Amino acid sequence: MDTDTSTMTRFRFGKSLVVAIDGPSGSGKSSVSRETARRLHAAYLDTGAMYRAVTLHCLEKGVDLTDAGSVERATRELDLSISTRPDTEAVLVSGIDVTDAIREPRVTRAVSAVATTLGARSELIRRQRQIIADSHHRIVAEGRDITTVVAPDAEVRILLTASEEARLRRRGDQLGGTQTAEQLKQQVLARDARDSSVVNFHQAANGVVTVDSSDLDFEQTVTAVLDVVRTVAHH
């Protein structure tokens, strides 16, 4: 019996299994969460993509990112849809595919402005809870505040961390070595520092299990996460 089948046998369909995963940028959260969802035959939600979609929309429409009221209004009015199939990465704004555009550096540079606007957060949190409900509570949802705010009652709550060095190295590899060390620090550490002012994703809250991926490769990290799912969801 391969891992996949044994996982399916253990996690019977119909039973609620929400896996909440938080962590800083470069922790490998997105790819690990997506693969975990595949193995569990669950849905997958990348909440960071939602913050990015709002940011892209504000940049395109000239919404002043320093004006909290305008950002909140833009968020509430946004026609946003996001695929929750682990094999289909798709983000649409007003029916337009923005899947690639939300990863552009101009969005990465600006996204903290949206993430630190509390009115925008509460709207996105509301939508994220709805998406979790629509999945019939069989979903791996990842971000910065999933274990603490969006789904504190999730069956499994994990903080995926990695050393600063590992996170900088991974993000550098992802970007194909196009960035200087200083640029990487700006993108990874400075952004995390800004985002940390509204959400705590560096320390595990009570009941949240820490998985440190600094010395693990991708497959080992997925295995470690699945081990937590098995242990926590069954005892």
> Considering the rule CB under 6 A, would residue 115 count as an interface residue with ligand DC?
yes
Which residue, 68 or 199, is less far from ligand DC as judged by CB?
199
| Beta partners for residue 91, in sequence order | 82
Do 151 and 20 contact (CB within 8 A), yes or no? Answer: yes
Q: How far is the CB of 84 from ligand DC (least distance, A)?
A: 15
> Considering the rule CB under 6 A, would residue 23 count as an interface residue with ligand DC?
no
Which residue, 7 or 158, is less far from ligand DC as judged by CB?
158
Do 132 and 18 contact (CB within 8 A), yes or no? Answer: yes
Torsion sign, CA atoms 201, 121, 194, 176: positive
> Considering the rule CB under 6 A, would residue 27 count as an interface residue with ligand DC?
no
- Residues shown for the chain: 235
> Considering the rule CB under 6 A, would residue 145 count as an interface residue with ligand DC?
yes
Among 33, 43, 91, 143, binds ligand DC (CB under 6 A): 143
Alpha-carbon Rg for the chain, nearest whole angstrom, is: 17
Q: How far apart are CA 144 and CA 75, in angstroms?
A: 18
The residue behind tokens 């960035």 is 179
Among 39, 127, 138, 144, binds ligand DC (CB under 6 A): 144
Q: How far is the CB of 91 from ligand DC (least distance, A)?
A: 11
Reduced to 3 states (helix: H, G, I; strand: E, B; else coil), residue 180 is coil
Among 19, 21, 43, 111, binds ligand DC (CB under 6 A): 111
> Considering the rule CB under 6 A, would residue 25 count as an interface residue with ligand DC?
yes
Do 233 and 17 contact (CB within 8 A), yes or no? Answer: yes
Encode 67-78: b = buried (16+ Cβ within 10 Å), e = exposed. eeebbbebbeeb
Binding mask 172-211 for ligand DC (x = CB under 6 A): -------------------x---x---x------------
Q: How far is the CB of 102 from ligand DC (least distance, A)?
A: 8
The distance from CA 187 to its chain's CA centroid, rounded to whole angstroms, is 16
> Considering the rule CB under 6 A, would residue 72 count as an interface residue with ligand DC?
no
Which residues contact ligand DC by CB under 6 A? 25, 47-48, 51-52, 111-112, 115, 143-146, 191, 195, 199
